[in-house]
Amino acid sequence: MVKQNQSIMALLLLFLILAISAEVEGAKKSYGMYNNDNNSVKLFVFGDSYVDTGNFIHSGAYKPPSGMTFPGYPAGRFGNGRIITDYLASFLNIESPTPFVLRNSSNLQNGVNFAYGGTGIFKTLVDGPNLTIQIDSFEQLIKQNVYSKTDLESSIVLVNAGANDYTTFILKDRNIFEIHKFMKSLVDEMIVSLIRIHNLGAKKIVVSLLQPIGCLPTISVASLYIDCIDLFNLVSRDHNKMILGNLEDLNKEIGKPIFRTLDLYNSFLSAIRTIQKKRKENSTLINPLEPCCALGSVGYDCGKVDEKGEKKYTLCEKPELSFFWDNAHPSQNGWYSVFMQLESSLGQIFGKNL
């Protein structure tokens, strides 16, 4: 009888241990935000070429010399290797989310990237899905039950858009005096899109602040790549100030810090200034404002070849050490430098208790 009672007690103890183990595992799944083993975190990405990892199939992102540093061949990123999306995914201990265009042939456990190079908040010069259409695709996946309410609530949404809208405005309207009126309509539309993403169930939405567009090689060439053009950076600063004000109001209205910002403006400037300072001490370092993949002829872009297949561009000696890959996009080293400036703030931005 005693042995029987001991056996029963042993079984009860075993069941208790199993129950506690299951509860611990459940807690890990609920709170282990940065633990890749449970795949609890997903990253959903919206925007343009700065965050696109492969949606723009018929573009230079799928032609040499794109991807020469990583993964070693053209793979859909606008640059020679990893971009900010890859570094942010790595910070979350997940693989980069699958591009939407490849959704039927890939695992979607890490999220989906809807970003499409050249697009914006409004219609731009590139005929691709703008932010509204990208969110339509997101909503479609939710309606198809690809992602649950829990998936959305525990995951991160990254939105990076706006730069191509300003480019389109300047090239089409050519009225710099109307840019603040345009800015107001652009930011208003961005806020509408962000509210829509939140209403679909997202609880952690990170919005990129506009990069210092006066530092892009296509603009800084006016200074012979000596310095950024502050008049254009002023557009970025005004845009960011307007975004920050609107997001602060939204968070107050909701009562929670749903919307956070990724400060690309200051991280770009800090990274560039750091390299410029080092270059003063060592003139052999690459000028951070100068593009690595430079134009060889007027009318040709990085990666373009003529009808004979001859390259119409030139490459710098060490692409892996450049800051800008082409006239608009950072290189892998450039994005890594920006990421290093951002890294200390990412724990708060991607925090669990939003």
**Has 21 been annotated as catalytic?**
no
The owner of tokens 């595992």 is: 25
Strand 259-262 to 313-315 pairing = unpaired
Residue 246 forms beta bridges with which residues?
none
The residue from 96, 155, 236, 329 that is catalytic is 329
The residue from 40, 48, 49, 208 that is catalytic is 49
Cβ neighbours of residue 255 under 8 Å, at least 6 residues apart?
none
Single-letter amino acid, residue 151 = D
**Has 227 been annotated as catalytic?**
no
**Has 198 been annotated as catalytic?**
no
List the structure tokens of 65: 């010399």
Cα 93 from Cα 109, distance rounded (Å): 13
Three-state secondary structure of the chain: CHHHHHHHHHHHHHHHHHHHHHHHHHHHHHHCCCCHHHCCCCEEEEECCCCCCCCCCCCHHHCCCCCCCCCCCCCCCCCCCCCHHHHHHHHCCCCCCEEHHHHHHCCCCCCEECCCCCCCCCCCCCCCCCHHHHHHHHHHHHHCCCCCHHHHHCCEEEEECCHHHHHHHHHHCCCHHHHHHHHHHHHHHHHHHHHHHHHCCCCCEEEECCCCHHHCHHHHHHHCCCCCCHHHHHHHHHHHHHHHHHHHHHHHHHCCCCEEEECHHHHHHHHHHHHHHHHHHCCCCCCCCCECEEECCCCCCCCCECCCCCECEEECCCHHHCCECCCCCECHHHHHHHHHHHHHHHHHHCCCCC
The residue from 48, 52, 151, 326 that is catalytic is 326
Taking a C-beta distance cutoff of 8 angstroms, is the pair 331, 322 a contact? Answer: yes
Give catalytic residue positions. Answer: 49, 326, 329
